[in-house]
Amino acid sequence: MRSRAVSADGRRVVVTGIGVVAPGSIGREGFWDMITAGRTATRRITFFDPSRFRSQVAAEVDFDPRALGLTAHEVHRNDRFVQFAMVAADEAVADSGLRFGVGGAPDAPEPERVGVTLGSAVGATMRLENEYVNVSDAGTHWLVDPRYASRFLHQALVPSCGATELAVRFRAQAPATVVSTGCTSGIDAVGYGSQLIEDGDADVVIAGASDAPISPISMACFDTIRATTANNADPEHASKPFDARRDGFVMGEGAAVMVLEELEHARARDAEIYCEVTGYANRCNAFHMTGLRPDGVEMAEALDQALRQGRIDAEEVGYVNAHGSGTKQNDRHETAAVKLSLGEAAYKVPMSSLKSMVGHSLGAIGSIEIAATALAVQRQVVPPTANYEEPDPECDLDYVPKTARESKVDVAVSVGSGFGGFQSAIVLAKPDRRAS
């Protein structure tokens, strides 16, 4: 006996719009072309001189916010992570065909029924650091000098400003929040957004995540615990998830935003539907802030629960979008978790890591991976794991090396794992998979 997928009122959630700001490509279609071509966007850091750092590689976004439609004021008051979110949300909203806040438009959603859930692991860390350099004269004074301060520092300190910017932009008056569960923020934000719709608190939710952590303090703090790669000689091939030679993750940045919509709401306006969100669950490992037990039990538990909500059997899963950060312990942990959850089916299902190409953008990557997974379901193509060459005996699943693959993907899962012990899983399915 399985518990049912349906929420209290049987409300189902579908994805009707996708927007992406990723390293190597801004925009959903460019992103899809890049990841299905197996192209990597990792490079030697250009934002600052990385020579004093252990890890000198990152996946940077070449980002011109003014050219992408943001006003000078929007750029001035917002950290890069908010700017990414605004650009990605603009694309997602345009893609959905919904005309937010347009009074009288026949398909304009009721503002009081539109919510926002924006994930971010580290918020405005880049702006906070840049401004700190000014007010402390590069770390010279503990008592910082207010005369050098920007007047938008409160928004930088408290990342909920990101949710506010999106709410104001699209006149979303239902619940809005920032979700900050470290590196699972991007999955959790979409999961919470789905729950808002299931619970009847919104009909449409702008859900996604954004992070812009390529700054000296972020690079330094991961340097000291050797979480990031030291493969500085070959930046384009530095991120090697599941490969025996992997030596840490490559820092990334970016955003992805989805328009989530209640199924009947989407049907009533004949919207194009990418996929249905049939399950979401998260768990904590209660083990270690950065360490992972090799058995993957808690991630498997999250995945089990997420599948169970949609009454989906292991054999039905056509694609596993991995966390695949490229650290020794993560890829082993995750392989074990997928085997534990899917059993024998784990050996047959294609499983790949986007981080091989776009790096690890902390909280944002979960939403970027959901965007890719939704596109995989829609297009029946599985993106590859770039740079994968040398198998690791402890990672013995089908990681889709280097080349994208046409494949039957009626159901796909995306999983994530983060500092603090968070483990999350979300399940996306073809919209017509289940009769209404």
Partner 1 sequence: MTELARSGSESVTELARSGSESVTELARSRSESVTEPTVLSEEGVASEVVGGHRETAPTGRAILAGRGGRTTRLLVTGIGVVAPSGIGVEEHWRSLLRGELSVRPIEGFDASVYGVTIAGQVRGFVPEEHVDARLLVQTDRWTWMSLAAATLAAEDAGYIPPEEAYATSVFLAAGSGGNEFSQHEIQGLWAKGPKAVGAYQSIAWFYAASTGQISIRDGWKGPSGVVVSESAGGLDSIGWARRVARRGTPAVLVGGTEAGICPYALLCQVTSGRLSTASRPEDGYKPFDRRANGHTIGEGGAILLVEEADAARARGAQKVWGEVVGYGATHDAHHHEDPAPDATQYARAIRLSLADAGIGPDDVDLVIADGAGVPELDRLEAEAVTSVFGERGVPVTAPSSWTGRLMAGGSALNVATALLAIRDGVVPGVGNLDDPVEEYGLDLVRETREQDVGVVVVLARGFGGFNSALVLRRYPEEAA
232 binds partner 1 (CB under 8 A): no
Query: Environment class of residue 11 by beta-carbon count within 10 Å: exposed (0-12), middle (13-18) or buried (19+)?
Result: middle
Q: How far is the CB of 29 from partner 1 (least distance, A)?
A: 30
Q: How far is the CB of 380 from partner 1 (least distance, A)?
A: 25
Closer to partner 1 by CB, 160 or 407: give it: 160
Q: Do residues 54 and 42 make contact, with C-beta atoms less than 8 angstroms apart?
A: no
- Computed over its alpha carbons, how large is the radius of gyration of the chain? 20
Within 375-414, which residues bind partner 1 (CB under 8 A)?
none
CA dist 244 and 390 (Å) reads 5
CA dist 164 and 103 (Å) reads 20
Check if 161 is active-site: no
373 binds partner 1 (CB under 8 A): no
Within 303-332, which residues bind partner 1 (CB under 8 A)?
304-305, 308-309, 314
User: Does the CA dihedral 366-367-372-375 come out positive or negative?
Assistant: positive
224 binds partner 1 (CB under 8 A): yes
Phi, psi of 261 (to 5 degrees): -145, 145
Q: How far is the CB of 64 from partner 1 (least distance, A)?
A: 21
Check if 360 is active-site: yes
Q: Do residues 125 and 213 make contact, with C-beta atoms less than 8 angstroms apart?
A: yes
Closer to partner 1 by CB, 35 or 88: give it: 88
Contacts with 414 (C-beta within 8 Å, 6 or more apart), sequence order? 187, 320, 321, 366, 369, 370, 373, 425, 426, 428
Candidates 70, 187, 257, 281; binder of partner 1 (CB under 8 A) is: 281
Within 47-66, which residues bind partner 1 (CB under 8 A)?
52-54
Within 163-202, which residues bind partner 1 (CB under 8 A)?
163-165, 167-168, 170-182, 188, 192, 195, 198-200
Within 99-158, which residues bind partner 1 (CB under 8 A)?
111-112, 116, 121-123, 128-129, 132-133, 135-136, 138-140, 142-146, 149-158
Check if 323 is active-site: yes
Which listed residue (265, 275, 323, 333) is catalytic?
323
Q: How far is the CB of 406 from partner 1 (least distance, A)?
A: 27
Q: Do residues 353 and 383 make contact, with C-beta atoms less than 8 angstroms apart?
A: no
Which listed residue (161, 183, 275, 395) is catalytic?
183
Q: How far is the CB of 146 from partner 1 (least distance, A)?
A: 5
Within 239-258, which residues bind partner 1 (CB under 8 A)?
none
Closer to partner 1 by CB, 47 or 152: give it: 152
Long-range contacts of 38-41 (CB under 8 A, 24+ apart): 38/357, 38/383, 38/384, 38/386, 38/402, 38/403, 38/404, 39/357, 39/386, 40/236, 40/237, 40/239, 40/356, 40/357, 40/386, 40/387, 41/252, 41/357, 41/358, 41/359
Closer to partner 1 by CB, 165 or 243: give it: 165
Residues with a catalytic annotation lie at 183, 323, 360
